[in-house]
Every structure is written in structure tokens, then in C-alpha cells.
A and B are shown apart, each in its own frame.
Chain A
């Protein structure tokens, strides 16, 4: 695993939509589990993809074992709200009496960011959970975080709550969450990018916003879909039909873009792992294993 991530309890994988966040989160989870860490990988209120990528049925809103040392969950707002309420209230009967009241439902819906708070709260709660022998239920939690704009909002939630809501159970939880997120010894953000101009710029921007607005530090960058150079100078100069010359030129253009994006991203001063583009018919377990081997350094692009 990338050195900077190896001792963290919480990994947050984020980036622009469509850059392969989910793949990277799943690959990191796979690697983590294989290293013997009890790992929980969370998707946030989305069409679930991680368990299916691993060749398993969808996990749903309950933490579900997918293979040795690896659990998955798709965190949903309603069940999370219920769990959260039950934790505070302790009694199911009170929950039903109060939370099924439509007035209460109305208020809860519009308390700023409560939904995000319970989603994030549930995920972070799993970091506190203990087993009967006193050890943590999960050594590591990996979040497949919402895309850029939403990620900033999502991870700002504890602070928003602290700014909005006076002291109480919610504020106490929010403070704990915020402290965990900004703790560099515990939490690391993995930025995922693609070798194209817009995603790269957005990655730089995301890095800046995460550190300025949420005060969480990015620990590594994964440059997904990297196209390595293929044709050497002699080959590019050799006599080919115009059609094939175009093929060579197009490939080298994309490869050059990959390199220049890598260079731009390296200005962040973070460990940067290029993962070559994988050409496969169905992106499934096999492709995922390839990504994992690049992330762990077992394969070199």
C-alpha cells in the first residue's frame, strides 16, 4: 500500500465524477483486507458498485461481509437516521412514538445537514465500535466519498453543525467527527484524478478546498487511466500510411497528456501513483485486481 496510507484508520477516496473513485476505493479495500486489516468499505447513498465489482451481491444498508477481513455497506439516510436516533434515545418505543410523528419528521428533514451528519456519523461510528475482546471491530474504514463539490459539503458538515446548532447531543457528535477528520494520524484523503486537463485542475482545486475549508489533508494522489508512451522516436519517424501515422500520433498525444498531467499533479508534493488504463470488456474482479496491484506497487506502469 502507498506508504502514507498504511497506518491510517480512515481513508477518504474522492475526486471528480467519473474518475474511478469507486474502483480505487474497492482496490484499496481489497489490499487492506489482504494485509490482514479488518476493513469496512462504505459507499454513500448511491447505486452500489463495490460488492458487485468484487463479484458479490449488493451489500445494501447493512454492514455485510464480502470476503475475509472485508465488509461493505451502502449507507442510506433513513436507516442511518434511525440508528442514530436509537443511539441517542436508547429505546425503540420512544423512537416510534417520536420519530414517526410527522411534525418531528419535518423538523429533522430541515435541520441543516442533519442527513449528511447521520450518514457521516454512521460511517465514523464504525471506527469506534469494539469487539468483545476490546479490539476495534474494524481496523480501517474506507469511504468512497461523493464527487468533488458534494465532498466538500459532506465533510464540512460537522463544522456546519457546530456553527449552527447549540450544545447538545448533535453538537457533541459533530465535534468528535470533526476532530477525527482533521487528525492526520488517523485520517488520510486519497485524491483520484484522470490524465485530462479538467479533472486535473479540479483535483488541484479539491486539494486546496479540502485543506482550507475542511482542514483535512490529502495524503496521496492516484492518477487513473494513465496512458504510458509506446512508440519511440525511430518508430514515430518511420514510414507509415497516413492512417497509421494518425494512430501513432493520437496515442503519443494521449501519452504526452498523461505525463504533463502527472507533472502538474506532482506540484502538490504528495505521493502520486499512476494506474494505467485497463482495457477490458467487463470491468470486474480481474480488472480490479490489476488496479490493486498497481496501487500496492506490485506492478509498475
Chain B
């Protein structure tokens, strides 16, 4: 992870991905590499942990007091921001669309759907932001926390899906007469009250198709820049100075997703720096079993049950981790233990980083690297 200037954290929801992203940025700042963590999660807790009221769509510097409170003295600055989806899309249109098309695009219902609901649009805008921040070059390390994707493909496929939406042969064919006429308002289904058109409109009503046609005509002005950007983003994701950090938790269903994600990243020629297994239960040390054996009565029974439960969790985790290690080889696995309390301040974020960099390890779960 040390030689990357862009780190992308990926994984499913509820595994501590955002915390890991913050950890990576904090570690860099501590070691003298200025950093920026960009998250999608409306994680108010993370904001508070970082000493900020809330994370906004603008970059904010983590205040010195927050570090001081945690007893940390960073050698470079750390910034954080939270991506506001809708606003980022609007800004993108405002920046790129020709002035006469902006309003038409922004007020179109299909644009509303594109910017909020279309599968992959959240992922796309995250990548767009990553590109923008990377181009500005203000941060030696950029950590991008991706949306918790239900399906790994949504993420990798996002630029393609958006392009597909904007630039589709089928759409061109439908729109050709209108484009040739060079004006809007031309009835799309001048194509004929054709069989196909009539059938579609039985589902949607003709107006819907008309709106979609208008949207396509207006957004065409942006297609070229979207295509260029999608290409650039892909280049950045595949660049040797970009690395992915795959975050997972040791439950079986999470591990399956992690393996699937790992495979996809590799197929797409993207570098996975590490698989972080978060919230690992360590096995009970032998010494404790010995101590319990010397007790008696109900207290002994209760302690024994508690240790058994702990061990059961640890065994499950160890089995999962072993499988993950085999299936993701040779990508290194990094284990972070389950902390008794959620990570809720900079100090705890720092504590997590000690596991990521191997200063501390989870005992008894086998070799980590």
C-alpha cells in the first residue's frame, strides 16, 4: 500500500469499509504523506471521529485539535469529504454541458433518474470525483471509499453502464430522424405509429418516450466527454500507482462476496494491495483454559461457557480466513481484530492502522502474510 497514490476501498456494506478508508488516510498523514479521504457513506460518526461537525461535499481539513486530543502528531495534513451524489451530478452537468442545454438536462425526469436511481450512477460519480481530485494533484494520497455495492459488478461496470445509457446504437437509430432534422420537439414516433413503438407505449405511455428522446438529444452534447472520462478513469484504476483494498468481515456470506470481488478485480487487471478482514475473533489463549480449570462452582461453568463461545467464533473466523487466503493468494491478507467498542475516535482509527501495517497482529490465527 505504501507506493500507491490512489487507494480505493471496496467491499460490501457493514464490514467497516469507511473506517478502513479513514485509517489509510490517517496513517499516510502521520507518516508525512498529505492525504484525502473521500467517502460516500453519510457516516456522521466518522465525521465526529475526525473532529468535524459533519462531512460535506467540500474538502475539509482535519483540525489539529482532533489529532491533539488523540495524542497524535501528524507530519502532513489530512482532509476528508463526503460525496453528495445529486449535487456532484448537477455540478458535472453545469461544468460540461453547453449553456443552452444545462437547464433542459437538469429539469428532465430522466436526468433525475440517472443522477439518483440508475444502477451504477453512484459508483460512477465516485470515480468521477476521484479523477477530479487526482488531476488537481493537491493530495499525495487519495483514498476513495466506494458505495457499499450489493453486486461487485455494479462498481467495475459503472462507467460502461453510464456510457451505455448515453451512447447506444439503438438509441441513435431511434433518434436519427430527430438528429437529422436538427431540432427538438420532432415527434420521436414519426418513425411511424410503428408496431414496436405502439407496443412500448402500452407500457409507458408515449410521453415517456418523448421525454427520453428529448433527454437523449440534450445529453448527446455530453457523451463525448463522458466517454473520454470513462476511458481515463479506467486508465487510472489500472495504473500501477493505484491499488484496491478489499475490505470484508469473516462471516461466510461476506467472504464469498470478497472472493468474487477479488476475482473480478484481477480479471480487470486492477491491483489489489490487500484483503482486510475486519472484526476477527482471536482464539482463547491456552493459559486461560488452564485458569478456568482451576476454578469451581457456577462461576467456573459460566466462564467456561464464555470461553467456549469465544472459541467457536474464533474457529469459524479461522476457517473462513483460511479459505479466503487460499482463494485470494498471493494477495496478502490483513487481519484486524474485533474491538470491544466501535471505532469512534481518531485514536481508535490509529489503533486499527497498527494492524494494517503489521505493528500489531491478531494472535493465534496463523501466519498473516
Residues of A bordering B, CB below 8 Å: 16-19, 46-47, 49, 85, 88-89, 94, 97-98, 101-108, 110-113, 115, 146-150, 153, 160, 163-171, 196-199, 201, 230-231, 235, 238, 240-241, 243-244, 247-248, 250-251, 253-254, 257, 279-281, 283
Residues of B bordering A, CB below 8 Å: 12-15, 45, 109-110, 112-113, 117-119, 148, 150, 165, 168-171, 173-174, 195-196, 199-205, 207-209, 212, 249, 251-254, 256, 285, 287-288, 291-292, 295, 298-299, 302-303, 305-310, 312-313, 315-316, 340-342, 344
Q: Once bound together, how far apart are the Cα atoms of A153 and B122, in whole Å?
A: 13
The residues of B that contact A243 with a CB separation of less than 8 Å are: 285, 287-288, 291
Chain A at the B interface: SS class: helix
Does A107 contact B209, Cβ atoms closer than 8 Å? yes
Q: Once bound together, how far apart are the Cα atoms of A245 and B56, in whole Å?
A: 43
List of 3 A-B pairs having minimum Cβ-Cβ separation, nearest first: A112-B113, A17-B13, A18-B14
Q: Once bound together, how far apart are the Cα atoms of A244 and B12, in whole Å?
A: 35
Could you list 11 further interchain pairs (A-B, Cβ under 8 angstroms) beyond the known A98-B199, A112-B113, A166-B205? A19-B14, A94-B199, A102-B169, A103-B170, A164-B109, A197-B45, A201-B45, A230-B305, A243-B291, A254-B340, A280-B312
Does B208 contact A165, Cβ atoms closer than 8 Å? yes
Does A104 contact B200, Cβ atoms closer than 8 Å? yes
Instruction: With CB as the reference atom, state the residue of chain B lying closest to A148.
Output: B13
Does B109 contact A102, Cβ atoms closer than 8 Å? no
Does B205 contact A168, Cβ atoms closer than 8 Å? yes
Instruction: With CB as the reference atom, state the residue of chain A lying closest to B209.
Output: A107
Does A111 contact B251, Cβ atoms closer than 8 Å? no
Partner of A166, one of B202, B208, B306: B208
Q: Which of A19, A103, A240, A251 has the most CB of B within 10 A?
A: A103
The residues of A that contact B208 with a CB separation of less than 8 Å are: 111, 164-166
Partner of A98, one of B196, B207, B310: B196
CB distance from A298 to the nearest CB of B (A): 22
The answer to whether A235 and B299 touch (CB under 8 A), given A106-B170, A281-B316, is yes
CB distance from B167 to the nearest CB of A (A): 11
Does A230 contact B117, Cβ atoms closer than 8 Å? no
A-B contact pairs, 15 of them (CB 8 A): A18-B254, A103-B173, A106-B168, A106-B171, A110-B165, A112-B110, A147-B13, A164-B113, A168-B201, A170-B205, A199-B14, A230-B306, A243-B291, A244-B303, A248-B306
Does B14 contact A104, Cβ atoms closer than 8 Å? no
The answer to whether A18 and B251 touch (CB under 8 A), given A107-B212, A150-B150, is yes
CB distance from A163 to the nearest CB of B (A): 8
Does A279 contact B306, Cβ atoms closer than 8 Å? no
Q: Once bound together, how far apart are the Cα atoms of A49 and B253, in whole Å?
A: 9
Q: Once bound together, how far apart are the Cα atoms of A240 and B170, in whole Å?
A: 74
Q: Once bound together, how far apart are the Cα atoms of A77 and B176, in whole Å?
A: 30
Instruction: With CB as the reference atom, state the residue of chain A lying closest to B165.
Output: A110
The residues of B that contact A280 with a CB separation of less than 8 Å are: 312
Does B109 contact A166, Cβ atoms closer than 8 Å? no
Does A253 contact B199, Cβ atoms closer than 8 Å? no
Does A238 contact B299, Cβ atoms closer than 8 Å? yes
Q: Once bound together, how far apart are the Cα atoms of A243 and B312, in whole Å?
A: 18
CB distance from A301 to the nearest CB of B (A): 15
The answer to whether A248 and B303 touch (CB under 8 A), given A18-B249, A104-B199, is yes
Does B202 contact A241, Cβ atoms closer than 8 Å? no
The residues of B that contact A113 with a CB separation of less than 8 Å are: 113, 117
CB distance from B264 to the nearest CB of A (A): 15
The residues of A that contact B195 with a CB separation of less than 8 Å are: 97-98
The residues of B that contact A241 with a CB separation of less than 8 Å are: 291
Q: Once bound together, how far apart are the Cα atoms of A10 and B303, in whole Å?
A: 43
CB distance from A86 to the nearest CB of B (A): 12
The residues of A that contact B249 with a CB separation of less than 8 Å are: 18
Q: Once bound together, how far apart are the Cα atoms of A112 and B115, in whole Å?
A: 11
Does B288 contact A165, Cβ atoms closer than 8 Å? no
Does A101 contact B196, Cβ atoms closer than 8 Å? yes
